[in-house]
Structure 1
Amino acid sequence: MSAPDTNIERQAERHWVSITGICVALTLGVVIGLGLASVIDLNGPQVSATDAQINGTVTSGD
């Protein structure tokens, strides 16, 4: 006769689906975040040299 299951073994049997789901959700979140970061311009608007004054402030295009 084998020893009875411990509480930890019973919890592992019941919770593996939840733990797997959490891992999948975290992985998808990282993948989506990296995908968005590669599409979105994280450096902000780029100012050309002709649009910038000598003191570094931006002039209007009007």
Structure 2
Amino acid sequence: MTGDAELMATTERVGLPATLLVAISPAEVSLLIAAPADRSHQMAVSAVYGPRLRASGVAR
């Protein structure tokens, strides 16, 4: 548990963005999911956008 305390002591809080994020339309999401030629890549993109996650959040 001491590792957790040390980690929390060195962790910095990140504030919320000052601007609203741009959302894409359902039609654009469909195009985005269909864009990869490989079916496994389509499934990965679909898994990211299914629960409404953003790619930038997943890439971190």
TM over 0.5: same fold?
no
Mark the structure with the bigger radius of gyration. 1
Normalised TM-score (structure 1):
0.23
| TM-score calculated relative to the size of structure 2 | 0.24
Higher relative contact order (CA 8 A, sep 6+): 2
